[in-house]
Amino acid sequence: MNIIKLKTNPAIFSDVLINNFGQIVNDMLSENTDKLQAIYRPPVELSENNDHYMLQLSLPGVTKQNISISQEDHIIKIEAHHSTTASAYKVLHSEFNQGKYAREVRLPKNVSLDAISAKLQDGILTVLVQKKEESKPKSIRIA
């Protein structure tokens, strides 16, 4: 049995990558990237107590005028928009999320959809959803 050894040359690809790495990074950080529309998915925390579910989203730099909250079929949809203000400085590099934020969260069936409130404080959006009163077992007296 003859064994044929195949020789691969990964150096071809690595040389191309190394030679063009600077240009690749510059292209990624160029001014043209601000024209791309990204949708960010903000981190969320869901907690509960006896009366409410509490949904919290991290939306740093977003004002309440730039947030919309809607509910349909037990799904809360939160959309927000964030953009920087004009400055005397030219931004050379930014890791701030700018653009559109969107998040959908499915609610449990035991909520009162008429009792939903929201508050924005210190970059945290808090949405409270009231739970329905659970049916408690009760004794039925026989007459």
Give 96-143 pLDDT, tens digit per residue: 777 888 999 998 888 888 889 999 999 999 999 998 877 556 777 887
Confidence class of residue 21 from pLDDT cuts 50, 70 and 90? low
- CATH C-level class of 38-131: mainly beta
* Contact by Cβ (8 Å): 90, 12: no
Q: 37-55, pLDDT tens digit by residue? A: 678 888 999 999 988 999 9
* Contact by Cβ (8 Å): 125, 46: no
